[in-house]
Amino acid sequence: MHAALRWWPIALLITLLVAPYSALPVPGLLDGPLGSSGSLQLIALCLLYGALATGYDLLLGRTGLLSFGHALYFATGLYATDLGMLELRLPFAAAAAFGVACTVLLAVLLGSVSLRVTGIGFSMVTLAFAQAGAILVQRNPGGVTGGEEGRSAPADLLPSGLLGIENTANLYWVAVGYLLLTVAAVHWAVNSPAGRVWEGIKENERRVAVLGLRPYGYKLVAFVLSGALAGLGGVVYLLLTGGATPQAAGSDTTLALLVMVVLGGSGTRWGPLLGGVLYTWADHRLGDLANSSAVADLPAVLRVPLSQPLFLLGALFVAVVYLLPGGLAGLPARIRASRSARSVRTLVGVPAGRPTGGNPA
């Protein structure tokens, strides 16, 4: 079991590489074969949100910054790219660069303000900025955002190889590329000298300041890098969905990212990715379960709560947090600890149900 957990990243990579070419049915997990258009679309969204959660954990798990406004940068990349094509008539590549540049600029401006305060004050300031952005999108100033309906991307300016159901596999590869880029960028940043300072800030910011370093500058770098990765994710989301929608700018998106990180394991290498994939898959698939005939035939006391996808998703989250306090990434360590405890009991001859130490009461 331990060996399987240790080699799972390689197994996952192989699965990602062969998925578009496989006709393997996966009943219960996906609606159709692994390589079908619907399955690839869902897998691509799972990978996208897994990458977004990994970038968000650069703030939460690596630097100790609880931001409630991360969706703002995801939405900025999404809307700025879409408007670059719709209003400025930029080709897609130029519009994507424009969208990411707008995201970086916004992250620098708002991060420089938000990071002037710490703790819950920082969280509230980021939430205020995100809410302002969401209201701006909903109000649809000058008709540029489309309000509640959003705006579709212009098909004539999108790459032809990324349009239509027949090109879903190409969109899937775009999502895989974004995931690999995000994981590589976060891994490089965490293991850089700045990453070691982020770890120190998370543990004790005052001690970092006493050592002669400026925590504010290092936190701003983490803030901007995380925002830039989110903005790039907005570009990928635009390709996957074909347009910009206000749901991407809502606070629910940031809360979902927070749940993903906690679900997978904050501050770990693979935990946020796993949490993002599991949450996104469950968010899509539990809706089918809630509307299934199996739930419809249950008594009302069970049918009513089980017919709500959010109830099922919340119950799943509570169960994982309760059973796995360190998230999914902490499962291998818990298994090793359990095996070590059993080995110790076997060596000293203590029955499995009795403690191994302490004085008899």
* Stretch 110-137: mean pLDDT: 93
Domain span at residue 157 reads: 35-249
Please report whether residue 305 resides in a domain. no
At residue 319 the predicted structure's pLDDT band, cuts being 50, 70 and 90, is: confident
Please report whether residue 169 resides in a domain. yes
What domain count does the chain have? Answer: 1
Residue 62 has pLDDT above 90, yes or no: yes
pLDDT-wise least confident of 49-53, 154-158, 304-308, 324-328: 304-308
Closest Cα to residue 166, out of 340, 317, 20, 8?
20
pLDDT-wise least confident of 25-29, 256-260, 341-345: 341-345
Predicted confidence at residue 5, as pLDDT, reads 52
Convert the pLDDT of each residue in 147-195 to its tens digit.
888 889 999 999 989 988 888 999 999 999 999 999 999 999 999 999 9
Please report whether residue 315 resides in a domain. no
Please report whether residue 56 resides in a domain. yes
Residue 360 has pLDDT above 50, yes or no: no
Please report whether residue 216 resides in a domain. yes
Please report whether residue 234 resides in a domain. yes
Predicted confidence at residue 331, as pLDDT, reads 73
- Contact at 8 Å (CB) between 233 and 77? yes
Q: What percent of the chain has pLDDT over 70?
A: 87
Convert the pLDDT of each residue in 189-230 to its tens digit.
999 999 999 999 999 999 998 988 999 999 999 999 999 999
Please report whether residue 85 resides in a domain. yes
Convert the pLDDT of each residue in 226-238 to its tens digit.
999 999 999 999 9
Please report whether residue 273 resides in a domain. no
Parallel, antiparallel or unpaired: strands 151-152 and 243-244: antiparallel
* pLDDT mean across residues, the chain: 85
| Structure tokens, 296 | 């419809």
- Contact at 8 Å (CB) between 151 and 244? yes
Output the DSSP codes for 31-86. Answer: SSBTTSHHHHHHHHHHHHHHHHHHHHHHHHTTT----S-HHHHHHHHHHHHHHHHH
The pTM for the full model equals 0.86
